[in-house]
Structure 1
Amino acid sequence: MKIRAKLHGLMSGAALGLIVTAGVTAPTAVAAQSAGPGDITVPAMAMDRALDMIGRQSGENVNFDPDAVKGLKSQPVRNARSAKQAIERAIKGSGLSVVPAVQGGLVVVNDIVVTARRDEAETSVLVRQATTSDRNGLGLRNQPRNTQVITAKTIEEQQALNITDILRNAGGVSALGNSPNSGASYTIRGFAASGLVNGLTSSSQYGVSAGADQPVANIERVEVLKGPDALLAGFGNLGGNINVVTKKPSAEERLAVSFDTGSFGLVRGVIDANNAITADNKLSARVIASAQTMDHNYGGYTGDKNWLFAPTLRYKDRLTDIVVGASINEGTSGIGAYTLFDNKTRQIIDRDPSVPIYAANQGIKIDTKRFYFDATRQIVSGVELVVRGLHDQTLLTTRAANTGYSRAGVLVADTQGSQQDGSANSLDAFLRIKTHIGDGLKASFNVGYNYSDGSAAQRSGLVYNRAVLSSLAATAPLTVIPWSPFGKVQIQTTGKQEGVYGQALIEFWKIKILGGVRKNWFNTTSQTFFAGPSAVLSQNKDGVSPSGGIIFDATDTLSIFANYARGETATFTAAKDGSILPNVITNNKEAGVKVDLFGKRATINASYFDIQQDNIILRNPADPTDLFPGPGQRGRGIDLNIAGQLLPGWAVLASFTRTKYALLSTNALQTVVANQPRDAYSVYSTYRTRIAEGVSGGVSGGLYGRSSSYANLLGQYVVPASRQIDTNAFLSVSGFDFNIGIRNIFNRRNYGSTSIFTYVPVSEPRGVRFSISKRLF
């Protein structure tokens, strides 16, 4: 009997999956003539009959799984204005929910059965669901801002190996791989972003330069949040943020393995195991493990070696959804290939990028232990409590030479090494209240408390050495550096942020209005140990960050939106009179449109933005001790992206950003905005089709590029434009999925954007990657 019951459950789940995907099922007839607005009235009755009657009265295609509604009784419905509103009233308190079908109409499903499916980001290039970056539960399509999402499906198809690979799909983002000084870093719309994990602050916010470090095997999606998001993250991140969302368990019984190999001795394996662990499917678990090794990277430096272990538990029923997980990983990466500008000709030194500069054993090691939870509980109908937490420990060790020019103009390499040991704790808790104010007005409110703290301890190697480089040519002899052990802590910093916030969402007619404000308190302490411990310097600041937005649904497929957000970064620098200078402020304004295409299988976001920074620290040229606030930087531009399925089998993910950057205050040391190309674009397109019975295949192509950019603050050095074309071929047969890709197929020499002329990243040459994956069950 147990086996039979399990089989029945699996069959019901499979049937429901077909219902949601195809948007067609049996027991609903639609009347030829639908009711007018406000005319849908259905008394309490058996749920299946009520849903059928709503479909008849509204003329809407209403679908449901008979097993999900069996034995349930509906709530009475009076004068509902739409089929969706009528269904919501009929199923209230039943454990059912209503979702749009892909090909039109509505589908009623059981909340518990929904856990049998993986998140849409793992199976599609288009994401519509609400995310950790929004506290109102709005889907991305309904948020009044331009947010770009890069899904696990895209990451897998593109064979991305790190966060820098992933972010080349993102418009307005300038990403920099491992440099001689730090791990991955990136800017959004011209301002540095430290990165979030599941919507929470990690140790990168508190001085550890590791970016949003997270192995790709455990990434469900990467959300590129454009504009200041102080309501979410507090101080800092003035141009936007990168939110890495980790994968979650579901009730789907699934064990998948994959293997990758490729150029430079790449070998990588991933195991992904997932299943319900209780008979009622309420408790599920997932374990993801990966390991990777390379002989060397494309710059000839230390090959990437890393491993990951990520277990996660999830409890989900009609009222509760709790995820508890961990991510433990250790990775070593060689510094990226790079070159320099000649300080006399101001031209890039053309050299063989596959040969290391000075020494091959230069690399960066990042060890991370991350523990997190995310809990949502419905207290009463329309009221939810959401609590999220994160503990993060990161050890970043850099063993690399700083190459540049001495004061005499001689090319030198300084070796010492550095280490950053940091930790962070984050907590975010809020109440979300949803209510109807009459038939035509809906309101949602959330009020909450946000806390984070972090610390970073910095050490340097005990031995400092400067070597004169005779040449950067490929024939120059290489040195094996005997790296120095690290000394005691030289600088210790800590920080703490607390914030209280409130948001309101009002929906009426075709309009959604969103407004919010956050009051933030920030504390920082620092202590140096160069000549014995200094006194502990403790400083405090506070600030207010308002934000607002509006979205107007002009038609069922076209929406117009606008938003405003104020970002703030604490400043503790003293003016000449001893007073503390005001916080750095940005004001971000954006307006645009969102368009659904091809039966809502694809979405276009297009916007114009204007972001301005004020209160940067300026110095009086006549008196270096006289510091004062002034206008800083401005960026204005257009941001366009599209994601989804254009035709059956044909999917596209594309972005284009054009930004005009300008400094609002210039001086003898700074006249331009460095490291920011005017144009950045990417187009990734796939086509898949059935080839024969049980055999399918396809191809993909990707174009990634950017315009030229300045490599120093005076505009004396210019990095040329770059573009790269990748291609992949896919084949699925007998349960195996094969993917062979060629990256930089035309083997172009591309240089990455940079802010210093003594470090110019060189992008990867032509390379091959081959992946094979198999779902065992």
Structure 2
Amino acid sequence: MVLKQQRWGSIGLTGAVLLLLAPIAWAEESGNQQDEKGGQPSALEQPATTVEEWLAQIAQVAIIQVTGIQLNATDTGIDVILETAAGQLPEPSTSVVGNALIVEIPNAALTLPEGNEFQQANPAEGIALISVTSLPDNWVRVAITGLGAPPTGEIRADAQSLVLSVVPGTDAADDAEDAIQVVVTGEQAGYQVDEATTATRTDTPLRDIPQSIQVVPRQVLEDQQVIELEEAVRNVSGVVPGNTFGNTQDGGFVIRGFPSFDLYLRNGFRDNAQGIREFANIERIEVLKGPASVLYGNLEPGGVINFITEMPLADPYYSTELELGNYGFARPTIDLSGPLNDDETLLYRLNAAYLNQDGFRNFSRYSERYFVAPVLTWQISNRTDLTLEFDYVRDERPFDRGLVVLGDAVADIPISRVLGERDDLREVEEIGVGYRFEHRFSDNWRVRNAFRMLFTDSFDYAFQPSSLDEATGELSRNLRSNEDYRESYALQTELVGEFSTGPIEHTLLVGVDWSRNTLRGNTRAAESTPSINIFDPDYGAVRPERSDLPLLTIDRFNATNTIGFFIQNQIDLLDNLHLLVGGRFDIIDQRSTNFLDGSSSNQNEDAFSPRIGIVYQPIEPLSLYASYSQSFQPNAFTQSDGSFLEPERGRQFEIGIRGEFLDDRLIANLAAYHITKTNVATTDPDDPNFSLPLGEVRSQGIEFDVAGEILPGWNIIASYAYTDAEVTESGADPFFPEGLRIANVAPNTASLWTTYEIQSGTLQGLGFGIGLFYVDNRPGDFDNTYELPSFLRTDAAIYYRRDNWRIALNVKNLLDEQYFAGADFGRVTVRPGEPFTILGSVAVEF
């Protein structure tokens, strides 16, 4: 920190401005000429005519660009190679801070394809972290942190690179009270991600996972200006939106043909959030396809969505952003992080956001959200960390079921037309508290313990659609209000160890988790509700106080207690042959009380959920895999008589090919799967507050995903999915006979998003993006009485990033395509997609 302050102080405000304006000055002075090596125009081609020009030329002629970083293992440690496009790096200075060897290089700048920062955790035995970062005033710092003592090293330089030969320090300082342990946040730039934690609960390369998993990294979220989950997961094959509960919560996405509200994780914990999630603190999203019950318990067989949140940083970081758009959209955010003490053992991070918008629907109805999420990490010792987390969100928005169906198509009325009333709303307030603890017994063995609790208050009051008289256009409605309070508690403990049995390497995971989820809620309704004509609406129906609603239709308490024991072994049989085996045993107790009639029901279930997979790599960048897995899901849904549905059970067979191309800059995955699920919960068409069971649903298909960098500055993330999902056994209910297709599941979906950022010259940092998102015709309800039409949505972006600031302009639905994103249920809840939307942002880092 002292070095940074001194350098900024030495250059001064005038010098900083000169450095920022220097590239433009050179371009004007040199006529955009380039030297014989095709690099930047020579600063000496034109004579300086002012002191400012002279200072700029002197400053820039000596700056050497670091264009690549390579790590090569050696017999004694590791070589850190800093590559340059042209010119030799100046002689660096070295120092030791705690367990870190610090190398600082003057008159240098980072221009890496993946961004202006490089991090690699545990690159060699005895080395915890290698970090290369830019400092103000054209300095580059390399920090090499040892596990128990600072490393030692030698420096070699030539015309094209600088090599740091690093040797780990001794373990003499392992037990020192003031030893430093670096916390790695997992943040990285670019579209390509090598590792994910969701599939195995360990940091496993994607190429070694025998199951389809896709990652939407922070860079994609930033480039697309993602605000809600639906915008993020459209980049992933086989994921489409489902029931959004009146457009007021992320709700039930459909993965591989299976809809569910219960498919979210937050840093590996079950996430029971009931509103629209805020993305201000999301580092990346991992989508694991297929059953994940072996690690996370009762889940859908289609897959899970895991939100990985941002963690505290060891270096000070301050950022703020303001987003503005049409339809009254405004969203300021802040992101602050850094150490709280001199030895950097106490780190913090604070994310906060505020959102308001009117939306494109009638009445300019106001949505508002407040969000704050502080995180504190205490590095108790060099082997022990404790992280405390808190998050608060309050979200208020219109409750809006959308449009209705007339005949076999959506009614031909304006997509902005509201069929409820202007005061329909839903409010959600949530408080989350938790901790994560890790202790490393050695380099190979560690124990983790984590706890999280979530408290949710939700309230809605709305005129909801019931049925349409298609001859007259008269829509009957129900005035209804739900008031619910939920509590969720979850505790996890697991042991992770790496060991060998002869030539075979093992990564063992053994754990136990416990959770308790409760719901106390009631529903009130009016005895009669005024209808509305969809062609000639007359608004202004009287909404009494909730306490004056005469009908108490639901008054209940539900509780689910779960304990699970799991074990997993990742076995490296050979360097190119990997086996994954695991199993989980769950014990679940469910209880429900109906306070209307005093009745109660309960069920106790247990289940074993296995998974086995194999990966074979005939050549290093290519992985062939196959896996079998099962899922178990006790039904939290109840039938109209108050009884729980029988547990849902699923099984999947999957085969796939995963490849890494272009020097590992591009990752592609092709998968084929077959899933069956029994006892599927579906919305009761007579009362959407309750559910009905299906006998069996089968989904099979092919998925393709690709993400990464094609050329320096050219990023891409794309997907395609073919999904064939239908009812194969009708069960006891006659409403859903065999052969019916699953609502909202399109046979074909595809997405493409690509950006290019200019890498050098006067326009360096200027980028462009284009996106295409296609969804095929799909049934809108489980009765298959109508289809939602296909659509192709086009998005575009232009942005400019320079030094510590970034401006961007995103256009969503560039061609103003009229489309329908999905249906909540039945024929009266079709959700129209957003029309032409423009969103601008300005972000600054300090």
Taking structure 2 as the reference length, what is the TM-score of the superposition? 0.75
User: For the structure 1 residues 238 and 484, does the alpha-carbon distance in structure 2 shift closer, same or farther, using more than 3 Å as the test?
Assistant: farther
Per-residue deviation, 1:456: 0.8
User: For the structure 1 residues 19 and 70, does the alpha-carbon distance in structure 2 shift closer, same or farther, using more than 3 Å as the test?
Assistant: farther
Secondary structure of the residue aligned to 1:231 is helix
Q: Which residue of 2 aligns with 1:187?
A: 254
1:297–1:304 contact (8 Å) kept in structure 2:
no
User: For the structure 1 residues 751 and 291, does the alpha-carbon distance in structure 2 shift closer, same or farther, using more than 3 Å as the test?
Assistant: same
1:652–1:685 contact (8 Å) kept in structure 2:
yes
Counterparts of 1:698 and 1:588, CA distance in 2: 42
Q: What pairs with 1:368-447 in structure 2 (closer than 5 Å)?
A: 368-405=430-467, 410-438=474-502, 440-447=503-510
CA RMSD of aligned residues (A): 3.8
User: For the structure 1 residues 256 and 283, does the alpha-carbon distance in structure 2 shift closer, same or farther, using more than 3 Å as the test?
Assistant: same
Counterparts of 1:277 and 1:109, CA distance in 2: 30
Secondary structure of the residue aligned to 1:136 is coil
1:676–1:753 contact (8 Å) kept in structure 2:
no
Counterparts of 2:579 and 2:164, CA distance in 1: 25
Q: Does 1:217 align with 2:254?
A: no
Q: Which residue of 2 aligns with 1:683?
A: 752
Counterparts of 1:736 and 1:109, CA distance in 2: 37
Secondary structure of the residue aligned to 1:538 is strand
Provide the aligned length of Structure 1 versus Structure 2: 697
Residue type at the aligned position of 2:567: G
Residue type at the aligned position of 1:773: A
2:196–2:203 contact (8 Å) kept in structure 1:
yes
Match of 2:828 among 750, 755, 758: 758
User: For the structure 1 residues 407 and 727, does the alpha-carbon distance in structure 2 shift closer, same or farther, using more than 3 Å as the test?
Assistant: closer
Q: Which moved more, 1:477-486 or 1:354-363?
A: 477-486
Match of 1:546 among 598, 610, 621: 610
Secondary structure of the residue aligned to 2:484 is strand
Counterparts of 1:701 and 1:632, CA distance in 2: 40
Q: Which residue of 2 aligns with 1:664?
A: 728
1:640–1:657 contact (8 Å) kept in structure 2:
yes
Q: Which moved more, 1:545-554 or 1:459-468?
A: 459-468
Q: What pairs with 1:561-580 in structure 2 (closer than 5 Å)?
A: 561-570=625-634
User: For the structure 1 residues 262 and 589, does the alpha-carbon distance in structure 2 shift closer, same or farther, using more than 3 Å as the test?
Assistant: same
Counterparts of 2:768 and 2:213, CA distance in 1: 27
Q: Which residue of 1 aligns with 2:213?
A: 147
Cα deviation code 1:506-548 (max 9, x no counterpart): 11321111110101001111111224xx144332111110011
Secondary structure of the residue aligned to 1:664 is strand
Match of 1:556 among 598, 611, 620: 620
Counterparts of 2:564 and 2:399, CA distance in 1: 38
Q: Which residue of 1 aligns with 2:330?
A: 267
Q: Which residue of 2 aligns with 1:701?
A: 770
1:164–1:177 contact (8 Å) kept in structure 2:
no
Cα deviation code 1:573-629 (max 9, x no counterpart): 999xxx9997432111111111111111121111111111135699xxxxxxxxx99
Q: Does 1:522 align with 2:588?
A: yes
Q: Which residue of 1 aligns with 2:556?
A: 491
User: For the structure 1 residues 371 and 483, does the alpha-carbon distance in structure 2 shift closer, same or farther, using more than 3 Å as the test?
Assistant: farther
Cα deviation code 1:79-129 (max 9, x no counterpart): xxxxx99953899964689xxxxx9x99979999995875335x2222223
User: For the structure 1 residues 309 and 538, does the alpha-carbon distance in structure 2 shift closer, same or farther, using more than 3 Å as the test?
Assistant: same
Q: Which moved more, 1:277-286 or 1:250-259?
A: 277-286
Q: Which residue of 1 aligns with 2:2?
A: 3
Counterparts of 1:107 and 1:520, CA distance in 2: 50
Per-residue deviation, 1:364: 2.2
Counterparts of 1:276 and 1:51, CA distance in 2: 28
Q: Which moved more, 1:250-259 or 1:287-296?
A: 287-296
Q: Which residue of 1 aligns with 2:235?
A: 169
Counterparts of 1:196 and 1:20, CA distance in 2: 39
Counterparts of 2:580 and 2:6, CA distance in 1: 46
Q: Which residue of 2 aligns with 1:15?
A: none
Q: Which moved more, 1:390-399 or 1:603-612?
A: 390-399
1:725–1:744 contact (8 Å) kept in structure 2:
yes
Secondary structure of the residue aligned to 2:675 is strand
Over the matched positions of the two proteins, sequence identity in percent amounts to 20
Q: Which moved more, 1:252-261 or 1:127-136?
A: 127-136
Q: Does 1:159 align with 2:222?
A: no
1:417–1:484 contact (8 Å) kept in structure 2:
no
Q: Does 1:450 align with 2:519?
A: no
Per-residue deviation, 1:572: 9.9
Q: Which residue of 2 aligns with 1:88?
A: 125
Q: Which residue of 1 aligns with 2:387?
A: 323
Q: Which residue of 1 aligns with 2:779?
A: 710
Counterparts of 2:819 and 2:283, CA distance in 1: 29
Counterparts of 1:294 and 1:455, CA distance in 2: 32
1:610–1:636 contact (8 Å) kept in structure 2:
yes
Counterparts of 1:150 and 1:511, CA distance in 2: 27
1:183–1:364 contact (8 Å) kept in structure 2:
no
Residue type at the aligned position of 1:254: Y
Counterparts of 2:4 and 2:802, CA distance in 1: 31
Cα deviation code 1:238-268 (max 9, x no counterpart): 2111111211111121111100111111111
Counterparts of 1:310 and 1:677, CA distance in 2: 37
Residue type at the aligned position of 2:483: Q
Q: Which residue of 1 aligns with 2:187?
A: 120
Q: Does 1:467 align with 2:530?
A: yes
Cα deviation code 1:436-494 (max 9, x no counterpart): 233x321111111011111111222364542122x213x52322652542588711111
Secondary structure of the residue aligned to 1:765 is coil
Counterparts of 2:444 and 2:477, CA distance in 1: 62
Q: What pairs with 1:15-34 in structure 2 (closer than 5 Å)?
A: 22-24=68-70
User: For the structure 1 residues 371 and 582, does the alpha-carbon distance in structure 2 shift closer, same or farther, using more than 3 Å as the test?
Assistant: closer
User: For the structure 1 residues 461 and 144, does the alpha-carbon distance in structure 2 shift closer, same or farther, using more than 3 Å as the test?
Assistant: same
Counterparts of 2:306 and 2:361, CA distance in 1: 28
Match of 1:643 among 707, 714, 718: 707
1:299–1:337 contact (8 Å) kept in structure 2:
no
Counterparts of 2:672 and 2:150, CA distance in 1: 40
Q: Does 1:500 align with 2:500?
A: no
Q: What pairs with 1:245-260 in structure 2 (closer than 5 Å)?
A: 245-260=308-323
1:171–1:680 contact (8 Å) kept in structure 2:
yes
Residue type at the aligned position of 1:140: L
Q: Does 1:771 align with 2:841?
A: yes
Q: Which residue of 2 aligns with 1:653?
A: 717
Q: Which residue of 1 aligns with 2:798?
A: 729
Residue type at the aligned position of 2:467: Y
Counterparts of 1:158 and 1:94, CA distance in 2: 42
Q: Does 1:308 align with 2:378?
A: no
1:23–1:107 contact (8 Å) kept in structure 2:
no
Counterparts of 2:94 and 2:671, CA distance in 1: 43
Q: Which moved more, 1:168-177 or 1:715-724?
A: 168-177
Cα deviation code 1:29-57 (max 9, x no counterpart): x9xxxxxxxxx9x5xxxx6xx54699xxx
User: For the structure 1 residues 668 and 433, does the alpha-carbon distance in structure 2 shift closer, same or farther, using more than 3 Å as the test?
Assistant: same
Counterparts of 1:617 and 1:24, CA distance in 2: 52
Match of 1:136 among 178, 198, 202: 202
Cα deviation code 1:396-444 (max 9, x no counterpart): 2222222131699852121122122101001111101101233x32111
User: For the structure 1 residues 427 and 367, does the alpha-carbon distance in structure 2 shift closer, same or farther, using more than 3 Å as the test?
Assistant: same
1:202–1:425 contact (8 Å) kept in structure 2:
no
Q: Which residue of 2 aligns with 1:201?
A: 270
Counterparts of 1:294 and 1:616, CA distance in 2: 37
Per-residue deviation, 1:337: 6.9
Cα deviation code 1:291-315 (max 9, x no counterpart): 1111344455632210111100123
User: For the structure 1 residues 370 and 536, does the alpha-carbon distance in structure 2 shift closer, same or farther, using more than 3 Å as the test?
Assistant: same
Unaligned 5+ segments in structure 2 are 8-63, 82-91, 102-120, 129-145, 152-160, 170-178, 683-691
Counterparts of 1:233 and 1:282, CA distance in 2: 32
1:115–1:250 contact (8 Å) kept in structure 2:
no
Counterparts of 1:93 and 1:145, CA distance in 2: 33
